[in-house]
Amino acid sequence: MSPNMRQRSLGLPYPSIARFRGGALLALVCVALSAGCDSEAAVRMAPGPPNALLDRWVDMWNSYDLDEVGELFLNDPRLTYFSSEKQGVIRGMAAVVEHHRGFGFVPGGDPKGTRLWLEDLTTDLRGDMAVVTGLWFFAAAGDTTGEPQKGPVTFVAVWDSGAWKFMHMNFSEYLPEELLQPS
């Protein structure tokens, strides 16, 4: 079989591609891949998952610190939040701040003895965006039932100006067993 026939049988589109060996082929691939990237895109790449942001958010909830809302959420009109406690979409920073104020959040914080935590988190990264899914749990102060509120949650965070910020949240709540209808 001639070299050109072998290249075609391997699916190589150009006969000359088979002449590249080792480092030369690697260099060609690297140049081709980087040709579509600009330095701005490289800057937008986040350094890793938004774990610290999630930790700060949990701390914010447990301390009821309203000041942290402005630090953790992207101040952008496209910011959205679906609460397990309120119907409809909460849109924009002012509305998200007011939503938290409605839970008793105040500047500087005022812990209520409640406890919020997250479990079973999965993070999917794509450049300057992260989607985190998991379960939230909330134990009210003085609750003697031993069963916290809980449900699924989705966080969407974006890398903005050197920090992760929340762009979207979606909470749902699992109903207590006694409220569920048999299937």
Residues 28 and 57 in one domain: no
In a domain, 41, yes or no: no
Q: Which domain holds residue 32?
A: 3-36
**How many angstroms separate the CA atoms of 149 and 129, rounded?**
29
Same domain, 11 and 90: no
Q: What is the pLDDT of residue 45?
A: 66
pTM of the model: 0.71
Render pLDDT for 12-38 as a digit per residue (tens, 0 to 9). 343 433 333 343 333 333 333 334 444
CATH number for the domain including 80?
Answer: 3.10.450.50
For residues 145-178, b (16+ Cβ closer than 10 Å) or e, as one string? Answer: eeeebbeebebbbbbeeeebbbbbbbbeeeeeee
Domain annotation covers residue 108? yes
Condensed to tens digits (0 to 9), the pLDDT of residues 170-180 reads 999 998 776 66
| Tens digits of residue pLDDT in 108-117 | 999 999 999 9
How many structural domains are present in the chain? 2
61 part of a folded domain: yes
Give a yes or no: residue 20 inside a domain.
yes
